[in-house]
Structure 1
Amino acid sequence: MNNKIFLSIVILIGLSVNLFSQGHDKEIFEDEYIKNQLVKVTNWQFQHPKHDPRDWTNAAFYAGAFAAWQTTHDQSIYDALINIGNSVDWQPYKRWYHADDIAVCQTYIDLYRIEKKPEMLQRTLDTIQLYISRPYPTSGEIDVIKYWWCDALFMAPPSLVKLGITTGDQRFLEANDAYYKECYDLLFDKEEHLFARDLNYVLKPDGSGLKEANGQKIFWSRGNGWVMGGLARVLQELPHNYKNRPFYENLFREMASRIASLQQSDGLWRASLIDPASYPGGEVSGSGFFCYAFAWGINNGLLDPKIYLPVVRKAWIGLNECVNEEGRVGWVQPIGADPRKNFDADSWEVYGTGAFLLAGSEVVKLKNRK
């Protein structure tokens, strides 16, 4: 084979791959594709249960599954969520004082709003009333406030705000405002516009403390993803004239600008946001929550589509590359308090599934998304 023929074949193959890629990229923004993907991913996760049904991990999955049901109207998803609630008697998890253990209440409240059955709400009401009336049983170390780790900003705030809106009791909204501001003051880095996971990752006044290999501060994708996802869910609930809404809106926009700048070429974010070179592959749970939050922000007029729609498009393409034929979402960082390197395409966790489902539920609403 001479060089001209070889070169022609290479060019033809390249053009074919590029055209296939462009066609595939367009397909994944079609309504039918997104809805089918949401159903497939949700069904796979229901068929592969993990952890206690009331655990925070599953709470993130249920949030995504509920959004998938709202998007697809697939009755089997709704029935599965109702069956899970009935199976645990609509109880939060074990600890009344811990944000993780009231995260599942978000979905209980969402389902109660439809079913209007008091037993679906009563245990959530009892537990969260206890939560806001008693101090956190601190060990005196890093757990010095109720929302002492940034992931808590997804777990508890939507539950408190949803409960306040549903019952008309302002105490729940006001308590959340106070706890949220404490976390912001403790963990938000005003130079980097990101949240440290907890006090272990906040540098001391002399500059000493934990850092990444490149010398940067440690801000992990999943933790800040939880924050952005939680902000979207809180803002979805708060009335536009609510007195403290501007605080949440300003924080949402400030973080969105910084996080968008850290997106990698494959559309995803790395486990460590500002040391991407040290971590292999995209981290899907953080990336899913970012995609969800940015798409929600565009859909609700908080983010400029000219700036953020390209970010969402790249993210949605990248996220779909991490879903296998069965509907399993891979490349999910395992449970832990810091960025991890030991995960790959076969690593899955239920919260990664939830993040993907939330993202798809907002991407499908975007105008001019193709």
Structure 2
Amino acid sequence: MMMKKWTGVLMLMLIVVNAGAQSALRKMPKGFTAKEVGVIVTQRFLATPHPNFGSPKPPGDITYPEVCAWLGALRFAAVADSKLAVRLKERFEPLFTTEQRLLPKKDHVDHNVFGTVPLQLYVQTKEPRYLDMGLPFAVSQWEAPTGGKESHLRWLKMGMTWQTRLWIDDMFMITAVQAQAYVATGDRKYIDRAAKEMVMYLDSIQRPNGLFYHAPDVPFFWGRGNGWMAAGMTELLRTLPESSQYRPRILEGYRKMMASLKQYQSADGMWRQLIDEPASWPETSCTGMFAYAMISGVKKGWLPAREYGDVARKAWLALVGYIDENGDVREVCEGTNKKNEKQYYLDRRRITGDMHGQAPILWCATALAEK
């Protein structure tokens, strides 16, 4: 009887400790709350014309950094500001008419992720035209393309998307659109195949320390590349049913990565352009992605709040300090291809207002604002 009594007391103490750690993500100083920050960055998004990723020319289509920011803004508005939700919907309307030429082709992970935006609009509005536009971007990832290569067919025979590359950013681009298709339709095939793909990536490319090289032949832990993996696992875990056979393996990979990231967080709360390189510069897009993963993990119970609550809070407070008076995020690494040269990563340009940096701020704001 005494043992049961003490077990109950210990459980109560643990609940209290976890609740205290959770509160670290609920009470923010003025100017740092999810609502304040999310509104500023969403308004900035609405005021920004469609950008052309990596080029000063007018965009030929909607590029994936804008998609990531748009998705984040839509989700934030759904939980925090209905007026912004209306304006975000209005921004999309020309894609049915005068801007239809900007719809991406369904031929690459960076293009297919566009489907997340109309699918999210369908979830919010239940208007079938959004589903009709968005769902083919998810469906086509598991359909053999016309004139496809032999490697495409090999991946499909293995149950993977023909767009598989084993690049670390794939695991956000693929999982985001498949998870969104599942949310929109309720059809388990979308989330199950994304989860199977994630497990294959984890088994293939996660390093013993829980992090990921930019590519197998490029042995550097690039910040944003790892951010895509962290955010991709988070997207899946937020959506994947508890009964999924793949969930334990994804949780294992996620927790292993979070434990490693916790060790590499700088004293100022940031993570760096090269995660394990102390001489590297603090970079905002990866910090935002890691913060999003940890905020979600603490609030959803995937991570112990007493261990990660303060880590996530510290990252958020640091990150908000990089937002300027226009609502633009500073110190964002420019678009980066792989290269087996450390100095290449250290010398990448640091951009202000790039959608790679705007997007994860909105993901964090949404995760913080959710009940």
TM range (shorter): 0.7 to 0.9
For residues 115 and 294 of structure 1, the distance between their equivalents in structure 2, rounded to whole angstroms, comes to: 29
Q: What is the Cα deviation at residue 184 of structure 1?
A: 2.5
Q: 1:144-199, CA deviations, whole angstroms, 9 ceiling, x for partnerless residues?
A: 8633211111111121122134323333233323332332233221x121122233
Q: What is the Cα deviation at residue 307 of structure 1?
A: 0.9
The equivalences for 1:143-182 within 5 A come to 146-148=163-165, 149-182=167-200
Confirm or deny: 8 A CA contact 1:147 1:183 kept in the other structure. Answer: no
Q: Paired residues, what number?
A: 321
Q: Pick the aligned partner of 1:105 from 89, 95, 115.
A: 115
- Which of structure 1's runs of 4+ aligned residues deviate more than 4 A? 90-93, 135-140
Q: Return 5+ residue gaps in structure 1 as ranges.
A: 1-25, 202-216
Q: What is the Cα deviation at residue 32 of structure 1?
A: 7.9
Q: What is the Cα deviation at residue 331 of structure 1?
A: 0.8
Q: Pick the aligned partner of 2:90 from 69, 83, 96.
A: 83
Confirm or deny: 8 A CA contact 1:29 1:364 kept in the other structure. Answer: no
Partner residue in 1 for 2:293: 293
User: What fraction of aligned residue pairs are identical, expressed as a percent?
Assistant: 23
The equivalences for 1:307-326 within 5 A come to 307-326=307-326
Partner residue in 2 for 1:17: none
For residues 239 and 78 of structure 1, the distance between their equivalents in structure 2, rounded to whole angstroms, comes to: 27
TM-score by length of 1: 0.78
1:220 to 2:238 alignment: no
> Alignment partner of 1:336: what SS?
coil
Q: What is the Cα deviation at residue 27 of structure 1?
A: 8.3
> CA 1:270/1:126 → structure 2, altered by over 3 Å: closer, same or farther?
same
For residues 45 and 356 of structure 1, the distance between their equivalents in structure 2, rounded to whole angstroms, comes to: 12
The equivalences for 1:186-205 within 5 A come to 186-189=204-207, 191-201=208-218
Confirm or deny: 8 A CA contact 1:334 1:340 kept in the other structure. Answer: no
Partner residue in 1 for 2:126: 116
> Alignment partner of 1:128: what SS?
helix
Q: 1:119-141, CA deviations, whole angstroms, 9 ceiling, x for partnerless residues?
A: 1011322232222021695697x
Q: What is the Cα deviation at residue 252 of structure 1?
A: 1.3
Partner residue in 1 for 2:241: 239
> CA 1:57/1:239 → structure 2, altered by over 3 Å: closer, same or farther?
same
For residues 244 and 297 of structure 2, the distance between their equivalents in structure 1, rounded to whole angstroms, comes to: 18
Q: What is the Cα deviation at residue 319 of structure 1?
A: 0.3
Confirm or deny: 8 A CA contact 1:55 1:93 kept in the other structure. Answer: no
Q: What's the C-alpha RMSD, in Å, of the aligned pairs?
A: 2.9
Q: Pick the aligned partner of 2:354 from 337, 349, 354.
A: 349
Q: 1:225-250, CA deviations, whole angstroms, 9 ceiling, x for partnerless residues?
A: 11111221211111212222222222
Q: 1:87-137, CA deviations, whole angstroms, 9 ceiling, x for partnerless residues?
A: 223979533231111222223212101211111011322232222021695
Letter in 1 for 2:259: S
Greater shift after overlay, 43-52 or 291-300? Answer: 43-52
TM-score by length of 2: 0.78
Partner residue in 2 for 1:204: none
Q: 1:20-61, CA deviations, whole angstroms, 9 ceiling, x for partnerless residues?
A: xxxxxx984459843122111221232223224631111110
Greater shift after overlay, 175-184 or 311-320? Answer: 175-184
> Alignment partner of 2:301: what SS?
coil
Partner residue in 2 for 1:14: none
Partner residue in 1 for 2:36: 36
1:63 to 2:60 alignment: no
Partner residue in 1 for 2:258: 256
Letter in 2 for 1:228: A
Q: What is the Cα deviation at residue 352 of structure 1?
A: 0.7
For residues 137 and 159 of structure 1, the distance between their equivalents in structure 2, rounded to whole angstroms, comes to: 21
> CA 1:360/1:115 → structure 2, altered by over 3 Å: closer, same or farther?
closer
Confirm or deny: 8 A CA contact 1:333 1:340 kept in the other structure. Answer: no
For residues 352 and 27 of structure 1, the distance between their equivalents in structure 2, rounded to whole angstroms, comes to: 24
Q: What is the Cα deviation at residue 74 of structure 1?
A: 4.2
Letter in 1 for 2:90: N
> Alignment partner of 1:271: what SS?
coil
For residues 163 and 216 of structure 2, the distance between their equivalents in structure 1, rounded to whole angstroms, comes to: 13
For residues 32 and 285 of structure 2, the distance between their equivalents in structure 1, rounded to whole angstroms, comes to: 23
Letter in 1 for 2:275: L
Confirm or deny: 8 A CA contact 2:212 2:226 kept in the other structure. Answer: yes
For residues 333 and 354 of structure 2, the distance between their equivalents in structure 1, rounded to whole angstroms, comes to: 8
Confirm or deny: 8 A CA contact 2:233 2:250 kept in the other structure. Answer: yes
Partner residue in 2 for 1:359: 364
